[in-house]
Chain A
Amino acid sequence: MASNHDHTVGHEETAHHEGMTKGKIWRVFFYLLALTALEFFIALVLVHGGYVEKGLAVNITYIMLTLLKAYYIVAYFMHLKFETFGLIMSISVVFLFIIYFIALMLMEGTYLNTHYNPFPFWTTP
């Protein structure tokens, strides 16, 4: 029993201090740079060049890339990936409320768009 206990503690400590070496930091940096460059490629070359129409598909791609960037920053730069399961859960699970809030408010916005839009409005010349 005692040896088992010591083992878990020791394991935890190494797990806590393991993580970001200089090489790994620069690797994450290049991932972030590549993702940002991809976003710019889509925006400047594909959308501005007229190859794709700005719309739902493009926006979903942007949001996926953004979430991936957010994952790399939180998991590696903020070191959350190497923390205990309990801490990861207590910080991430609450964002379910934000997802719900997004769904709620965007539906509300869509409703207002079709039911209450009495403002001066001109079509593009």
Chain B
Amino acid sequence: MSTTVTQLDKVKTGRWNGGRSPFNVEYGKIMMWFFLTSDAFTFSAFLIYYGTQRFAHFAWPDPDKVFQSIPLIADHGFPLVFVGIMTFILIMSSVTMVLAVEAGHRNSKKEVVGWMIATIIGGLMFVGCQAMEWTHLHHQGFWWGSIPHQDGVSPEVTLAPYFTHGISEVSALQFSNLFFTITGFHGFHVSVGILLNIIILFMTLANTFERRGTYLMVEKVGLYWHFVDLVWVFVFTFFYLV
């Protein structure tokens, strides 16, 4: 018998030839990635609709004039400062999340618990800030389907403080609807993230991952949490800067 192996019988060892995991990632983590991709499409659709509306109107509210307050400190005169604080809080909580994942790689339960608590506090602070921002805008008269309004006064006069080039009632209404819908959908994601983080924290405290031998769950929830941060980066640019 010949010992030479023909070309056909040769065992292929490529990534996609079977017998191994081509993505080299655990199933749940791949599914989390695909879920986040689809979620990114949802957020993209929202933001693209915002862009379309903005392009379609002669006038659009000037974000520098709408977002001027620092709740509890100053009513107006400080554009972007409060949202800057919120952005910093969210980036910071993203960092504490990666640090929790990193501690998980070293199977250090104590550090995972510490960083998870820090992440949860960051998330709660962010949602709290958003609640204050919403309350402030609501007091000014913005809400789903409503814009600042005074009886017997032309909308042109009431809306003047929020516009720079031209004033339009319809675009103020669109802006208000889209602001509450998009930041609301994002805030809902943050809230769900906090809930997931709390569940993971308790599972860590209950030694679930210690017994499992891996802190992979922290990584999966971490992916979700970073995604929430990522969405905020875009919301921040398109609502507050541009």
Binding site for B on A (CB under 8 A): 1, 4-5, 8-9, 12, 16-17, 20-22, 25-26, 29, 32-33, 36, 39-40, 43-44, 48, 59, 62-63, 65-66, 69-70, 73-74, 77-79, 83-84, 86-87, 91, 94-95, 98, 101-102, 105-106, 108-110, 112-113, 116-117, 119-125
Contacts and interface: CB of A to CB of B under 8 A. Distances in A.
Contact of A73 (B49, B52, B230, B236): B230
B233 A124 contact: no
A83 B13 contact: no
B98 A25 contact: yes
Interface of B: 11, 13, 15-16, 20, 22-25, 30, 33-34, 37, 40-41, 44-45, 48-49, 51-59, 64, 79-80, 84, 87-88, 91-92, 94-95, 97-99, 101-102, 105, 155-156, 160, 163-171, 219, 222-223, 226-227, 229-230, 233-234, 236-237, 241-242
Main secondary structure, interface of A, reads helix
Contacts of A123: 166-167
15 contacts: A17-B105, A21-B102, A25-B95, A40-B84, A43-B241, A66-B236, A78-B226, A86-B15, A94-B41, A95-B40, A119-B57, A119-B168, A121-B58, A124-B165, A124-B166
Given A84-B24, A124-B164, A48 B241 contact: no
Nearest to A99: B44
B168 A121 contact: yes
